[in-house]
Structure 1
Amino acid sequence: MIRLDDSRALDMLDDGALDDLQPKLTDAHQAVLDKSGAGSDFLGWRDLLTDPDDALLEDIETTAAHLRRDADVLLCLGIGGSYLGAKAVIDALTPYFKKTSPATPDLPGKSDQPDDPPEVLFAGNQTSGAYLRELLESLEGKSVFVNVISKSGTTLETALSFRFVRQWMEDHFEDADDRIIVTTDPEKGVLNTLRDEHPYKKYVIPRDVGGRFSVMTPVGLLPIAAAGIDIRSFFYGAVSACEELKDAEDNPALQYAGLRYLLLEEGYDVDVLAVFEPKLRSIGGWWQQLMGESEGKDGTGLFPAVVQYTTDLHSLGQYMQDGQRIVLETFLMVEDDDGDLTIPQSEDNLDGLNYVAGKTMSDVTRGAYEGTAQAHSDGGVPILSLWMDSIDPGPLGELLYFFEHAVAVSGYLLGVNPFNQPGVEDYKREMFDRLGK
């Protein structure tokens, strides 16, 4: 389970502040469990875990096996929660460098070995015409399948990309309808209308699950499974966390939510999620949307930002150490980071690094974390450290549920509905007005 180290944050608060908050924390927690708070009709992301649908998992695994057999590329079209969760998990659990076989010239054959996962690409999450053109050019000669993910089917970025991609698919494959999968509303929306004429395979986005909470639905599970990741271990890691975090006592998710709330009250307005393992960088992107859209309302909420250390210590380290004291840091750390690469001894020692010879790169990472956390703490930055066991499907499922539960509680602490995003509609209205809608 996720372990929280708050030793470098509590001393930034008045003695007993967290204990004094506990009754309010418990009430917010209970409002999540019994669906009595604002936006409770969008708590379906918990129901998925308290009553798992193994038949759906099996269906997704079957489709994913088909994709691994026949696809060189699975192109996922979606924006926000429709892609960030899948991308985060895939980036975390796939190798940094993949050996590939040369592509075959014949269509629709698959270039890699049977069951070798397809390359999972993401589009429909911005408005770059150059990106879309180069993407379609890169797909030439490959066996391509598409998963378009949208409840309404009219989200601008995703729908525009699907216009181009659907035309490209129909121009390149006689069986294009069999290569397109839609993940959408149970009944409503454009994608359901399209299915009246095109027999696309369909997966459902539950109506009571918002986009940023949808990674445990087919929105996230299908691309993750297609990438060759064990979705049962991932899903049941979240199930385990959901069960373990039911009790209010000794609950690290509540403690995390409470400390962030108290630090915001003390004037720390920015929460920086810091990762040391590059594979976790995209987890930060998912976390950023989850926190920003859930908390940032009615003039309140922490501003979420993401850094990757030690890389960003050479760009933002100075500010973190000596800049405005408005920032708290959440370090996301891994107990077993698979970094057991032993540093060799050098006869000439020209770089002067023989003092670390015999240590592992994990030792270096741990030393960098400890040193950075202590230095920033000494400089007045509150530090929260979250430790996960390893970068594997089960622990990742635990981690994502941990954050989801924590932000639901923190939203209620802040007095906002953590499950809506009214501000998003404001920019859309202005944008559509300028485009002539």
Structure 2
Amino acid sequence: MTTTPTQQLSDAGVSIWLDDLSRERLSSGSLQKLIEEKNVVGVTTNPSIFHAAITAGSDYDAVIAEEAAKGATVEETVFEITTTDVADACDLFAPVAAASNGVDGRVSIEVDPRLAWDTEGTIAEAKHLYKKVNKDNVHIKIPATLEGLAAITATLAEGISVNVTLIFSLERYRAVINAFQSGLELAKENGHDLSKIHSVASFFVSRVDTEIDKRLNAIGTDEAKALKGKAGVANARLAYQVYEELFSTERWAVLAEAGALPQRPLWASTGVKDPAYPDTLYVTELVAAGVVNTMPEKTLDATFDHGVVTGDTISGTYEEANNVLNALEGLASPTTTSSQSSNPRAWTSSSPAGRNFWPTSKVPSPLHGRLPNPHEHSQLRRQRCCAAGHRATHPGTCRRPDCHQDFRQGPHSVGPDAESESAIRLGWVEAATVSQPLVEGILELRDALRAEGVSRIVLCGMGGSSLAPEVIAGTTGVELTVLDSTDPEQVGAALADRLAETAIVVSSKSGSTVETDSQRRVFEQAFTEAGIDAKSRIVIVTDPGSPLDKASREAGYRAVFNADPNVGGRFSALTAFGLVPSGLAGVDIQAFLDEAEEAAEILNEDSPENIGLRLGAALGGTTPLRNKIVIVEDGSGIVGFADWAEQLIAESTGKLGTGVLPVVAGPSAPEVSSGAEDVLVIRLVGAESDVQLGENEAAIAGGLATQMFVWEFATSVAGRLLGINPFDQPDVEAAKIAARGLLDARPEPTPANFVDGAIEVRGGAWLGDAATAADAVKALLGELGTDGYLSVQAYFDRIAFAQLEGIRDELAGSAAARSLLAGVRASCTPPGNSTRADRPSVRSCK
């Protein structure tokens, strides 16, 4: 009996999957027909496939209209359509899955490509997709980016089957297999049945030839042209060699003994792009037992019609394949090893956000219609402003014509000097949306902890890792203990309070913050000594791949949340750094993110009325520049917001001899009424407040999430106007290096100039004849210039010695009205130095 070429492929051990899915295929029976007649045993999908299906006809009109009537966003509608189709396809392939013990009958659905560089976001969405589809034979597609590797491991560890996509290089393929085996090892530890976990590694073929052929054509020699159309097959064949190698190791043998099945190579992108090549090239030349070939229907039809299957065409070809790649390298043409880092980013354009996914006539946009008036959320109200005889209509008179920049346009929008850094630091722009998948996991962990009697959350973190959640929790009235110090008394107080009911969140972006690690170790010791399973009480927030990330996963801590590495610490309020501790403590983080998303929509408008642009112009674009920004809490109801904004502005703009100096002050502070020409007062007010503003004053009102996003946006605009990069922090790094140098060198203490009771006084020649602490302060204040400021660095337990903040207004009142006090800062106190006034200094801000 004559068999078809597709049957011959199946007999050779190749699983044929269709690279397409639509509602029409499901409802018309055409997909069922392919199963029955052309040996199709699985399906892969991606956003481009669904885009084509949805825009091609009217099959989805009803569900689109239904979702729009519910007020669903475009993304919510996409999610509903794709997960429904995939679930229905899983049902169709269920008999195939049963007959193959789950090896085939698989249907793949891809995580949002915009999460390709967000480990934690990918993990969260993978779980969300798996839960929504709710079928055993679904594959969750995750891209093989560096960030994706950790997500692959974590997803498999949960017992979820994974299709790893967008693999181009042999080096990355090895990393994918390692991630797969690591995931199975964790899944085994977690008690999952390894025989139920399936995975494929999608190695792209024709796209490699498309790219390489372009370069060969550019070279133009006969030798170059002779290599056209050979790179893709050679690369794939060598990938199969890697597969044979890495699934023959002792490591794999242990997993196989436990029931694990190997991760099969899947040949993807098998449609021929060059019509000069045989239309079955990437099918008949890549035949071997245990592989999958996912084909567009055109390629499937060609194979069924005239494909010539001669058995295994991979084994024994490795030397020839190596010769091809060596010849390519000899031509100085970049081979496929360079494709892995660059090519995946091209496919983000397949996501709904990457291009115009929906035709306007298809999907109404109810989200914009539901937006409140922007002034209900945030308003910058201003009156007149006088400075050096110049009168402007408001404090934010912009000095440059290009200040209205849309940061969603990408790194170039912040200026050439900041472009390289901002290329990896603009994740905050979409943080409110990208962070949405985190919510479910955070709330599930919160509920689990509460069920175990854990009702107290302690946040161990410094700077940007602690300020935002402290503001979020304080404003919403939720208890969150913030331990941002290594002061023994402050740490001791945190340990002594309800340890049995406590879990800690250790937050460190770099994963190497010494203070934070010290806090983790002391709590871990305390938990253990109290007979509490320490691992079950420690939650980690850090960047993917950081030292803390790796160590925590190895240690088996309760949970590890990876933050978006493309968001700097001070811009991280809407990422895992702000959400995890706040959500575990009891904050409604879903409502928080929803408000921020609405604010993002408002700020996306390139308009003179854009609140972020106006505030940014006020901060960094006045003429003349008012480089002292006094932030006044005046009835906003947001607890500690000014302190958060202070760090955001200071670290973002203070560099290269420029910037603005933010200062937190009360409504009655001397600076507020000083009338100094270089001071701008910004009042944080309530939405309904009727504030009477004076000269050089502005007021802003809005909800917490709105304010945070507005100030991040405005600070970035200010950096653009000031001509500096708002996303790096050279002075912060320099200070760390200097501090480490002092610790390593351990210089002898500088002798005191004199001692007044319990106070040692040190200073330079400006001390003059001063013999008392009062004389020293008077001499210091006398050094202030018209554009100077006084900074008091007080190393105390900021909670126990909160009353110390009262001295700032007294000092400010004693100084000339033209000068400014930069606030009392508190951090840990070295034992025995609690009464020491250490090196007061005079600095200028120009």
TM-score by length of 1: 0.76
Cα distance in structure 2, aligned partners of 1:138 and 1:77: 15
- Deviation by residue 1:104-141 (Cα, 9 ceiling, x = unmatched): xxxxxxxxxxxxx7x42111x2331221123222345x
The one of 411, 428, 431 aligned to 2:719: 411
Deviations 1:157-186 (A, max 9, x none): 212222212211222243221111011121
Residue matched to 1:287: 645
Deviation at 1:266, TM superposition (A): 1.6
Cα shift at 1:215? 1.2
Q: Which residue of 1 aligns with 2:514?
A: 156
* C-alpha distance in structure 2 between counterparts of 1:20 and 1:322, whole Å: 24
- Write out aligned runs for 1:221-370 (5 A): 221-249=579-607, 250-263=609-622, 265-277=623-635, 279-309=637-667, 313=668, 316-317=669-670, 319-322=671-674, 324-336=676-688, 369-370=691-692
Residue of structure 1 aligned with 2:489, choices 130, 146, 164? 130
Counterparts in 2 of 1:174 and 1:285: CA distance versus 1, 3 Å: same
Segments of 5+ residues of structure 2 without an aligned counterpart are 1-376, 746-846
Report if aligned partners of 2:503, 2:538 keep a CA contact under 8 Å in 1: yes
Corresponding position of 1:59: 441
Deviations 1:201-236 (A, max 9, x none): 110111101111111112111222223221111111
Structure 1 157/434 Cα, relative in aligned 2: closer, same or farther at 3 Å?
A: same
Residue 791 of structure 2 is aligned to residue 433 of structure 1? no
Matched letter for residue 429 of structure 2: R
User: Residues 140-179 of structure 1 correspond to what in structure 2 (within 5 A)?
Assistant: 140=499, 142-179=500-537
More deviation, 8-17/254-263: 8-17
Deviations 1:232-275 (A, max 9, x none): 11111111111111122121211111122233x42522101111
Instruction: Find the aligned partners of 1:246 and 1:20 in 2 and give their Cα distance.
Output: 19
Paired residues of 1:93 and 1:279 also in contact (CA < 8 A): no
What secondary structure is seen at the aligned counterpart in 2 of 1:290?
Answer: helix
Distance 1:53 1:432, change over 3 A: closer
Partner Cα distance (1:20, 1:259) in 2: 8
Which deviates more from structure 2 when the two are superposed, residues 74-83 or residues 241-250? Answer: 241-250
Change over 3 Å in CA distance of 1:71–1:6 after alignment to 2: same
Q: How does 1:64-213 map to 2 (within 5 A)?
A: 64-69=446-451, 70-94=453-477, 119-123=479-483, 125-140=484-499, 142-213=500-571
The structure having more radius of gyration, on CA atoms, is 2
1:399 aligns to 2:782 (yes or no): no
Offset from partner CA, 1:290-312 (integer Å, 9 cap, x none): 11111111111111111233xxx
Contact 1:91–1:279, Cα closer than 8 Å, also in 2? no
Contact 1:272 1:305 (8 Å CA) reproduced: yes
| Change in 2 beyond 3 A, CA 1:304/1:32 | farther
CA change 1:419–1:321 in 2 (3 A) is same
- 2:460·2:482 contact (CA, 8 Å) conserved in 1? yes
**Corresponding letter in the other structure for 1:261:** G
User: 55-64 vs 71-80, which deviates more?
Assistant: 55-64
Cα drift, residue 396 of structure 1? 1.5
Task: Report what 1:387 is aligned to.
Answer: 701
**Which of 1 and 2 has higher RCO (CA within 8 Å, sep 6+)?**
1
CA contact (8 A) 1:9 1:384 kept: no
- Aligned-partner Cα distance in 2 for 1:76–1:327: 35
- Structure 1 residues 267, 52: closer, same or farther in 2, change over 3 A? closer
Q: Secondary structure at the match of 2:402?
A: helix
Residue 806 (structure 2) pairs with residue 424 (structure 1): no
The letter for the 1-side match of 2:644 is: W
Give a deviation string over 1:20-79, Cα, whole Å, max 9, x none.
Answer: 6462212xx135532213122100111333x44543211112122234443232111111
> Could you tell me which amino acid in structure 2 is paired with residue 121 of structure 1?
T
Cα drift, residue 327 of structure 1: 1.6
RMSD across aligned positions (CA): 2.4
Letter in 2 for 1:9: C
287-296 or 171-180, larger mean C-alpha shift? 171-180
Q: Percent identity among equivalent residues?
A: 26
Q: Distance in 1 between matches of 2:390 and 2:524?
A: 55
CA drift of 1:19 comes to 6.8
1:114 corresponds in structure 2 to none
Q: Residues 169 and 189 of structure 1: is their aligned pair in 2 closer, same or farther, counting only changes over 3 Å?
A: same
Native 8 Å contact 1:76 1:223 kept in 2 = yes
Aligned amino acid, residue 76 of structure 1? L
What CA distance in whole angstroms lies between the structure 2 residues aligned with 1:284 and 1:266? Answer: 24
Contact 2:572 2:578 in 1 (8 A): yes
Q: 1:230 to 1:137 in 2, by over 3 A?
A: closer
Does the 8 Å contact 1:278/1:308 carry over to 2?
no
Q: How much does 1:190 deviate?
A: 3.0
Match of 1:353 in 2: none
Contact kept in structure 1, 2:460 and 2:505, CA below 8 Å: yes
Paired residue for 2:406?
30
Q: Which runs of 5+ in 1 are unaligned?
A: 95-116, 337-365, 389-394
Deviation of 1:424 after TM superposition, in Å, equals 0.8
Alignment check: 8 A CA contact 2:631 2:664 kept = yes
Residue by residue over 1:376-399, the C-alpha shift from the partner in whole angstroms, topping out at 9 and shown as x without a partner, is x2xxxx0011122xxxxxx22111
Distance 1:84 1:143, change over 3 A: same
Deviation at 1:191, TM superposition (A): 4.1
**How far 1:5 moved relative to its partner?**
0.8
**SS in structure 2 opposite 1:83?**
helix
Conserved? CA contact 1:277–1:308, under 8 Å: no
2:541 and 2:409 map into 1 onto residues whose CA distance is: 28
Contact 1:254 1:409 in 2 (8 A): yes
Structure 2 residue 368 is the aligned partner of structure 1 residue 8: no
- Give the secondary structure class of the aligned counterpart of 1:75: strand
Deviation, structure 1 residue 325:
3.4
| Residue aligned with 1:196, SS | helix
Cα separation, 2, equivalents of 1:19 and 1:262:
6
Counterpart for residue 46 of structure 1 = 429
AA of the residue aligned to 2:725: N
Secondary structure of residue in 1 paired with 2:720 = helix
Q: Does 323-332 or 37-46 show the bigger shift?
A: 323-332
Kindly provide the amino acid, as one letter, of the partner of residue 610 in structure 2.
N
Corresponding residue for 1:107?
A: none
| Matched residue, 1:348 | none
SS at match of 1:195: helix
